[in-house]
A and B are shown apart, each in its own frame.
Chain A
Amino acid sequence: MSLGIIIVSHVDKIAAGVQTLISQVAADVSVTIAGGTDDGGVGTSVEKIQQAISDNKADEILAFYDLGSAKMNLELAQDFSDKPVHLYDVALVEGAYTAAALLQAGVDRTAVEAQLADLKIK
């Protein structure tokens, strides 16, 4: 099972920025993003999230996200998805960075989750 990362944010530039940041330490980890609404506004979109899940090269997904509806729409996409998607209530930047660095080092999901436990905020 390969593990990939998706970033869901209300703002496209936040999602893209986190992707830039974490890709620097995780060149071999598939990172896909869903930022903003379908029409480019501030919000989250189930369709964009579904796209990010299916575009991700991995067959199991670790998801990081920001406020409010990001989690709800992720859970909706999770219900509709064939790939397993795991959600983490952690600080977005620190959580995604931690997961990316650890996945690049080849650790498994249990070990990633142990590190993420300290970053829980929501």
Chain B
Amino acid sequence: MTLTLEDTLKWLHGFDATVTAQKAYLSELDTPIGDGDHGNNLARGAAAIEDALGKQEPADLTAALKTIAMALVSKVGGASGALYGTAFLEMAKASRETQEVADLLAAGLAGLQKRGGATTGEKTMIDVWAPVVAAAKAGNLTTQVIDDAVQATKPMKATKGRASYVGDNSIGHLDPGSVSSGYLFSEMLKAGVTA
């Protein structure tokens, strides 16, 4: 299906509410394998998105995605801001050519890979984005696909990001960025966007 401006706004409002509610949990996940700020970072991003969207109703899908991207890039202040921000920036660019959900998410994933240099299996949000994009392309994205991808980061050893500094000690913990990416895609499905 194609992504509309209306669905995008609904989707992001849902995501903003969820990360704000889960702020403490996301930061807690970031504590044993990171610096304990993921929830705080994203809650700041969520507030910035709400602020930016509230100030001026975006004219179209591209404008909305770009507004979201700039809010994340400028307000999050961590790896996840640069990463989510770049993903939304690439989706905004791609949305001039296509509004197909799977294609837009694929453009977002390509942006994440360009910015962070990670590939699958390195215990980062790529481990959720990649299977989600694959399922979306096949037309069978479900909450089960999302949840499985998030859980699969637990036994992985981190080789990118802050968690890579603790080496083997990263094994056995969920990756915080993967959990928040799981929220992003679950909220997308909840907003009625299917792929």
Give the total of A residues in contact with B, Cβ under 8 Å: 16
A68 touches B37 (CB 8 A): no
Contact: B82 with A72, CB < 8 Å?
A: yes
Query: Is A47 within 8 A of B74, CB to CB?
Result: yes
Near A by CB (< 8 A), chain B positions 44-93 give 73-75, 77-83, 85-86
What's the tally of chain B residues with a CB closer than 8 Å to chain A? 19
| Stretch of A17-25, A35-43, A54-62, A90-98 on the interface side | A35-43
Contact: B77 with A44, CB < 8 Å? yes
**Which residues of chain B are near A47, meaning CB under 8 Å?**
74
Knowing A42-B35, A42-B37, A69-B82, say if A75 contacts B74 (CB, 8 Å): no
For residue B41, which residues in chain A have a CB less than 8 angstroms away from its CB?
43
Most buried by A among B35, B78, B86: B78
* Binary per-residue interface labels of chain B (21-37) against chain A in the complex, 1 for a CB within 8 Å, 0 otherwise: 00000000000000101
Other-chain contact of A72, B35, B75, B83, B162 (Cβ < 8 Å): B83
Task: Tell me, in angstroms, the Cα distance from A68 to B80 when the chains sit together.
Answer: 10
Main secondary structure of the interface of A (DSSP, over half): loop
A37 to B40, CA, bound (A): 13
Cβ contact within 8 Å between B37 and A73: no
How many A-B contacts at CB < 8 Å in the complex? 45
Q: From residue 136 to 195 of chain B, which have CB atoms closer than 8 A to chain A?
A: 161-162
B79 touches A72 (CB 8 A): yes
CA distance A48 to B134 in the complex (A): 37
A46 near B78 (CB under 8 angstroms)?
no
**Shortest distance in angstroms between A25's beta carbon and chain B's nearest beta carbon?**
30
Q: Which of B73, B82, B115 has the most CB of A within 10 A?
A: B82
A75 cross-chain contacts in B, Cβ below 8 A: 82, 115
A111 proximity list for chain B (CB < 8 A): none
Q: A68-B162, A75-B115 are in contact. Are A46 and B79 (CB under 8 A)?
A: no
**B82 touches which one: A38, A41, A67, A73 (CB < 8 A)?**
A73
With a cutoff of 8 Å between Cβ atoms, the chain B residues found around residue A76 in the complex are 73, 82, 85-86, 115
Known A-B contacts A68-B79, A76-B82; the reply to A46 vs B37 at CB < 8 A is: no
Is A45 part of the contact surface with B, judged by Cβ < 8 Å?
Answer: yes
Query: Among the interface residues A68, A75, A76, which one has the most CB atoms of the partner chain B within 10 A?
Result: A68
Task: Report B118 CB to chain A, min CB distance, Å.
Answer: 11
Chain A residue at minimal CB-CB distance from B83:
A72
The residues of A that contact B83 with a CB separation of less than 8 Å are 72
* 19 more A-B residue pairs beyond the given contacts A37-B77, A43-B41, with a C-beta to C-beta distance below 8 A: A38-B77, A41-B77, A43-B77, A43-B78, A45-B74, A46-B81, A47-B74, A68-B79, A68-B162, A69-B78, A69-B80, A69-B81, A72-B82, A72-B86, A72-B115, A73-B81, A73-B82, A76-B73, A76-B82
Instruction: Give 6 closest A-B pairs by Cβ, nearest first.
Output: A72-B82, A43-B77, A37-B77, A69-B79, A68-B79, A69-B78
